[in-house]
Structure 1
């Protein structure tokens, strides 16, 4: 199996998992947050969708600087989030299909101004930023859903709500 194929399989599976979760949200709950230090549900859902679309930042850049390269997503509805997720996946798919596989071994750095947060091969950045980071936040979002009594879909197997 090629590196491209392996990356695409993972990106598609995680997109589908995110889609199942996002599709259960209600627009009128986007302002909910469980704690004053928490993001709102809308901010968290936006962040999860935008993390899927960091493939471009990782594959096509050597350095990502939060001070100059980051603009948070501010979509305001479930429909907009699902559309951004699907459109982003199609863009990601084109990027991966067109890339030279050797690019994943090149170094990538994420920083905030002069502060370097991490530096690693792009293959590691895809796992660390795109997959692990979004999985972490997607887990947070399912806690929000549970607190609001929104049925949580199964992601890597059935959820308690799937069994009910």
Structure 2
């Protein structure tokens, strides 16, 4: 749980940069990649990080410009990546206006009472969860993966090394 707005901003700034690297690697063709018929595609997952995920933060009172909830994802990977960049910047700007005291306030989310600091913590974990799903779909689509918490296979190879298995 976050007890400092600055700690949230620092953590989310770092995490969103990792997400942005993945989004910047998407192609229009890859957006339709799915793990199984009827499950979320790569494009839907990417867009989910922009509208639904940010909606969790808006429910606790951090207001900023974002696409409408449950809006259809664009068919352009570049538009998705740029929209994430803009929405994330707007979220961070809006969060910077909060005081640390706001993190101790509680709201009802998903039928439970959560402190705002916990909601922001869960918000980041939710994005990390979907980012992991995206990397699997990106591999299936034949896209290179950017390292997040360490080098990816491609990054190991660029360093002249073999990725550990």
TM-score above 0.5: yes
Structure with more contact order per residue of length (Cα contacts < 8 Å, sep ≥ 6): 2
Which structure carries more strand by proportion?
Answer: 1
Deviation, structure 1 residue 70: 4.0
Counterpart of 1:105? 104
Q: Which runs of 5+ in 1 are unaligned?
A: 62-68
Choose the corresponding residue for 1:141, options 130, 134, 137.
134
Aligned-residue Cα RMSD (Å) equals 2.1
Distance (Å, rounded) in 1 between the aligned partners of 2:108 and 2:134: 27
- How far apart are residue 94 of structure 1 and its match? 2.0
What is the alpha-carbon distance in structure 2 between the residues aligned to residue 20 and residue 94 of structure 1?
20
* CA deviation string 1:20-52 (max 9, x = no partner): 101111112212211024201110111123355
* 2:146 match: 153
1:66 aligns with none
Tell me: CA distance 1:135–1:57, structure 2 relative to 1, closer, same or farther (3 Å).
Answer: same
**1:71 Cα offset (Å):** 2.9
- Once the two structures are TM-superposed, the CA of residue 79 in structure 1 deviates from its matched residue by 1.6
Matched residue count: 150
For the residue of structure 2 that corresponds to 1:15, the secondary structure is helix
Secondary structure at the residue paired with 2:25? coil
CA separation of 1:55/1:92 partners in 2, compared to 1, >3 Å: closer, same or farther?
A: farther
Contact kept, 8 Å, 1:106 with 1:121, in 2: the verdict is yes
Measure the CA separation in 2 of the matches of 1:85 and 1:25: 13
* Post-superposition offset of 1:90: 2.1
In structure 2, what is the equivalent of residue 20 of structure 1? 21
